[in-house]
Amino acid sequence: MISVEATDGAARAGLVLTPRGSFRTPCFMPVGTRGTVRAVSSVDLEAAGVEVLLANAYHLMLRPGAEVVAELGGVHRFAGWTGHVLTDSGGYQVFSLAPAVDDDGVTFRSTYDGSLHRLTPEGAVAVQEELGADIQMALDVCPPLPSPPEVVRLAVERTVAWAARARAAHRREGQALFGIVQGGVDGALRAECARRTVELDFAGYGIGGLSVGESRAELLDTLGVTLGELPGDRPRYLMGVGDPVGLVEAIGSGVDMFDCVLPTRLARHGTVLSSQGRLSLRSAAFARDGGPLDPACGCEVCGRWTRGYLRHLLVVNEPAVARLLTVHNLTWTLALVAGARQAVVDGRFAAYRASVLAGWT
C-alpha cells in the first residue's frame, strides 16, 4: 500500500509502508543485477541516499543460485544491504534470449554456461521467495516492439494468466508481490490488461514493455491510459525508465517507482549527468577544467575532485573512476527525483518539470 501525502496534478508524493519500514516516492531504484551495482558498494549506495535496490532474480538464480543466497541469510545479508530490495522475475532477461515459450512457462539457456533451464510463474515466485526480497515481481511476457497485434495479444493473455498463478503460489510473509501490465503501445489492450491484473488484487503494479524503442509520445500516451486503470492506493512502478526527461514526465503522469541501468552504465563509459545536460568526460575540453562535474551537485565527488582529474583517470583507464562517476550519477539522479517529490509537496511541479525539460531537450 502507498500513503499519498501530496498531489500536484497527476504527480504525487507518497510513502510506501513495508514490514522492513518505509520508503519515499517517487523513488528511483538503482539496478544491482548480481546483488551489487557495478563499481560501487552498499556503503556507497547508502551514502548516496538509495532506499530501494533492484536485484535480478534471473542472474542470482543462475549464479550463485537462490539456495546459496538463502543459506547466506537472504539477499539483504548476502549483499550487505540494510535498505529495501525489489527483485524482478527475470522475465525481461529471459525473453531477451529468445526462449521457447508456451502457456505454462519458458525454457531458456543460461547466459553463463549454456545449461538448459525452465521457469514458470510458480517457479519465479519460489526463486524470489528464497532470495527474500521485500518486493517481488510476477513473471510476465515482454514482447519486442514493434510486434504484430496477435503477438502482443498473446503476451497479454499469458501475462494475465501467469499473474493469477503467481498470486495463488505466493506464500512468503512480509514480502509484497506486484503484478505487471503489458500490451505494447495499444491503448485499449493496455487498459484491458491493467483492469484484469487489478482484479487479481496485487500489492502494487509494474508497467512493463515500455522504453524499448517507442517514441516519447507513445510512451506517455500508453502510460496515461494504463495509470487510469490502476488503483490510487497501490504503488505504480514504470520498469526500465531512468533518463531525466523520462523520469519527470512519468512522475507528472502519476508514477511512483522507477528502475534503470542508464545512470550507472553511462558513468562507467565516462558520461556524466549534470544540470547542464550530459557531459562526455573524454572530451579534450575538460583536460584542464578545474571545476566540479556539476557545480549544483552536492555529492562527495563534486565536492572533492575536478573534471580535469576525473578525465585523467578515465583516459588512463584507472578503475577508481568507475566508482567515482557512478557515485555522482546515482546521487544526481536521486536528487532529481527528490527534487520532483519536493516540488509536488510545494505545489510547483509544473515549474520543476519545465526546468528539467529546458536543460535536457
Amino acid at residue number 208: G
In Å, how far are 158, 185, 195, 217, 254 from 222, measured between CA atoms? 20, 6, 14, 8, 13
Q: Answer yes or no: are the C-beta atoms of 106 and 118 closer than 8 Å.
A: yes
Closest CA relative to residue 37, chosen from 207, 337, 315, 268: 268
Catalytic one among 140, 243, 259, 294? 259
Whether 243 is catalytic is no
Instruction: Looking at the chain, list the stretches that DSSP marks H as alpha helix, in order from N- to C-terminal side.
Output: 42-48, 57-62, 66-71, 74-79, 91-95, 121-131, 149-169, 187-198, 216-227, 244-253, 262-268, 300-304, 307-315, 320-346, 349-360
Catalytic one among 8, 44, 88, 256? 88
Whether 259 is catalytic is yes
3-class secondary-structure state, position 86: strand
Cβ of 296: how many Cβ atoms within 10 Å?
11
Q: Is 154 exposed, middle or buried (0-12, 13-18, 19+ CB in 10 A)?
A: middle
Cα 345 vs. chain centroid, distance in angstroms? 23
Q: Which three cell numbers stand for residue 68?
A: 546459496
Closest CA relative to residue 52, chosen from 131, 130, 128, 133: 133
Q: Which positions are annotated as active-site residues?
A: 88, 259
